[in-house]
Amino acid sequence: MTVTSQVKPEDEMLNWGRLILDGVSYSDMVGARDRPKEITWFDYWMNLANEYEQDAERKVALGHDLSAGELLMSAALCAQYAQFLWFDERRQKGQARKVELYQKAAPLLSPPAERHDLVVDGIPMPVYVRIPEGPGPHPAVIMLGGLESTKEESFQMENLVLDRGMATATFDGPGQGEMFEHKRLAGDYEKYTSAVVDLLTGLETIRNDAIAVLGRSLGGNYALKSAACEPRLAACISWGGFSDLDYWDLETPLTKESWRYVSKVGTLEEARQHVHAALETRDVLPQITCPTYILHGVHDEVPLSFVDTVLDLVPKQHLHLVVEKDGDHCCHNLGIRPRLEMADWLYDVLVAGKTLTPTMKGWPING
Amino acid sequence: MTVTSQVKPEDEMLNWGRLILDGVSYSDMVGARDRPKEITWFDYWMNLANEYEQDAERKVALGHDLSAGELLMSAALCAQYAQFLWFDERRQKGQARKVELYQKAAPLLSPPAERHDLVVDGIPMPVYVRIPEGPGPHPAVIMLGGLESTKEESFQMENLVLDRGMATATFDGPGQGEMFEHKRLAGDYEKYTSAVVDLLTGLETIRNDAIAVLGRSLGGNYALKSAACEPRLAACISWGGFSDLDYWDLETPLTKESWRYVSKVGTLEEARQHVHAALETRDVLPQITCPTYILHGVHDEVPLSFVDTVLDLVPKQHLHLVVEKDGDHCCHNLGIRPRLEMADWLYDVLVAGKTLTPTMKGWPING
């Protein structure tokens, strides 16, 4: 593939707010920015991943598993941001390393992430489940990654959910992480969400009637479609998601490259056609029957017309709409508060069993 | 008092690594840096403290205590950094607000911070104790603030200690926080540490034989003297501390102002004389009889001769010396790793009861 953009990944990826909230160390980002010229972006982060891993191995030998888990999680995030938005051989190297490091971290996290090796339509699909402390059964939240994020990156948000008494489940769907080599981005992500619902309903520690889905960015699109198509889901959060890709022209050059990469096509025009068809949800949104939280930032590349679409199509009685007037994509620039709001809303719906009244916060934006 | 320095506090205080590790939101720091010219530094942070408090009150009303505690903790940190390194009326306004906000946060933290109202030599001295989950009795770590930090600011480090099964206790000594109005910086901080040891040994939830002291920056000086003078202490950490103030001339202008402020004297020369006498520990360091962890960054303003002093005077068999060649004051620029090291060392000594061998890491620096 020819990369048509001249923007360097590090220019576009340096969303410091996002990375820090997701657990990347501020000092490591400063180090990346100020690194010697002869060290590439990729090498800087991959070397750092090695350092964290070595530190973690030392910690395990000393019986300090808690620190080892934290350090391996940091290592996995370093590998993620090494490969982030590169579309050559670095991509798979970084992805493979992230998978390996997270797998080492999983049993050492607190609570641990237990690996379940599902196979869906002949494709291996590992699912990581974390169960909160205390007597179960517990509600659960299935977390969906986006265009550039995978099952290894939601650790911090998982912790907010776990702290509130809910389990978490993460996996890679079509076009993401470990599934990418087997299947490109497609129009059937909800099938894989449902496979995870199957898994969770079979676990004694999980409450079958209290399983939610939460997706970020492209994951927010998948979450909406999953909620529309999977009646067993008890709640849905679309965190910086979208209903369709009519706004393709507004995407940044590297995001378009990324769509092309995960679509496994040769040209941006083919990518546009493919994702436009695959990510259409408007036909199914009226089928949503569970409480649905939509978080949208006014400064997102996803245009405000998304909110109109939601108001048109998602049944009003289920809608909890939050529009942040100062928010960017996923409201990463607003700190932890939007994340606390989502975690507490999940607690209200799944743990406390509150019946929520339909809500519109921040909308209309000049209202 | 006349302020002799023309450096603005925000220039000196913007140690982003420190603030982020202590729990200040990256997005709030960006907001502070990029705030409109007509909003002062002080007003920016105090307004933000109000916002967090209002958010927290809303959370309490909804039954979301966990988020409320987090938000009030954020509010308290905002008030801290509003007043940080100002020496006029803003100082006491910010300090009082921080005290008020932390007091509201305390019962909502996880685990909660329980307030004990001690009186030492007629001076009220509130102590906050946090007890980890699980059956006790637990070891405990007394945490000492420094020149510009108080009992309200060690939340993140407390959490690392609590996660490893140890309780925490925080208070303000002479010259700090709530005690400042009653008593200036003096040469008897260890008396107040001992009062906290008295408190802790009277609690059923605490193991009397496993109480440590950990102090940061100036608190590291207090920790060393406390360990030397209080035989009931089972371990000591000096985190970016110092043994004496022979290096006065190397201090930054605002730090000198700060020494003068907490000494309640009129001139820098009086301040120098006062703190030089009050913070001398070399006469007592040979009395230390517990395992003692010294963390020092080579790029600290505290000169490397401190390490020589430690090696000369602290009994070798008790010494765990870590010199970080790339570290600044308190190694805030190195991310979470030095903090994990200290927390794990406390675990080894207090929880696991390991007998540690004397250690020198990173020393000699070219060795």
Question: Over the stretch B94-117, which tens digit does the pLDDT of each residue have?
Answer: 999 999 999 999 999 999 999 999
Residue A30: CA count within 13 A, CB half-sphere: 11
Instruction: Count CB atoms within 10 A of the CB of residue A88.
Output: 12
- B340·A20 Cβ contact <8 A: no
Read off φ and ψ for residue A117, nearest 5 degrees.
Answer: -95, 85
Computed over every residue of chain B, the mean pLDDT equals 94
3-state secondary structure of B114: strand
Q: Which whole number is the average pLDDT over B112-128?
A: 98
Quick: pLDDT tens for A139-164. Answer: 999 999 999 899 999 999 999 999 99
CB–CB of A340 and B16 under 8 A? no
- Per-residue pLDDT of A164-219, as tens digits, reads 999 999 999 999 999 999 999 999 999 999 999 999 999 999 999 999 999 999 99
Tell me, yes or no, if A78 comes closer than 8 A to chain B by beta carbon.
no
In which residue are the tokens 């109480």 written?
B211
> Is the predicted pLDDT of residue A222 greater than 60, yes or no?
yes
User: A-chain residues within 8 Å CB-CB of B333?
Assistant: 27, 30
CA distance B67 to chain A (A): 6
Q: What does the pLDDT average to over A15-20? A: 88
Q: For the segment B309-350, what is each residue's pLDDT rounded down to a tens digit?
A: 999 999 999 999 999 999 999 999 999 999 999 999 999 999
A323 touches chain B (CB under 8 A): no
CA distance A224 to A127: 20
Say whether A163 and B66 touch across the interface (CB within 8 A): yes
Residue A193, C-beta contacts closer than 8 angstroms, at least 6 positions apart? A142, A144, A173, A213, A222, A226, A230, A233
List residues bridging with A127 in a β-sheet.
Answer: A116, A171
Q: How confident is the model at residue B4 (pLDDT cuts 50, 70, 90)?
A: very low
ipTM over 0.85: yes
pLDDT band, very low/low/confident/very high, at A367 (cuts 50, 70, 90): low
By the 8 A CB rule, do B173 and B209 touch?
no
Residues of chain B with Cβ-Cβ distance to A343 below 8 Å are 67
Distances (CA, A) of B366 to B97, B298, B305, B309, B359: 47, 12, 15, 18, 16
Angle at B167 between CA B166 and CA B168, to 5 degrees: 120
Ranking A33-37, A51-55, B206-210 by mean pLDDT, the lowest is A33-37
The confidence score (pLDDT) of residue A3 equals: 41
Residues of A tagged active-site: 148, 217, 300, 329
Q: Residue A231: pLDDT band by 50, 70, 90 thresholds?
A: very high
Closest CA–CA distance from residue B193 to any residue of chain A (Å): 29
Average confidence (pLDDT) over B156-167: 98
Interchain proximity B26–A335, CB inside 8 Å: yes
Q: Is the CB of A352 inside 8 Å of chain B's CB atoms?
A: yes
Compare CB distances from B66 to A21, A27, A164 and report the shortest one's residue.
A164
> What is the distance in angstroms between the Cα of B49 and the nearest Cα belonging to chain A?
14
Give the CA distances from residue B144 to residues B212, B241, B327, B351, in Å, rounded to whole numbers and listed in that order: 11, 11, 21, 20
Q: Parallel, antiparallel, or unpaired: how do β-strands A292-297 and A319-324 relate? A: parallel
Using alpha carbons, list the distances in angstroms from residue B149 to A313, A316, B113, B170. 53, 50, 18, 11
A337 and B20 in contact by Cβ < 8 A?
A: no
Mean pLDDT of chain A: 94
Q: Which residues of B are catalytic?
A: 148, 217, 300, 329
Order across the sheet with A113-120: list the strands. A113-120, A123-130, A167-171, A138-144, A206-216, A235-239, A292-297, A319-324, A359-361
From chain B, the residues in CB contact with A27 under 8 A are 17, 333-335
Are A59 and B28 inside 8 Å of each other by CB? no
Helices (H) and strands (E) in chain A, counts: 13, 9
**Residue range A123-130: average pLDDT?**
98
Structure confidence at residue B13 (pLDDT): 57
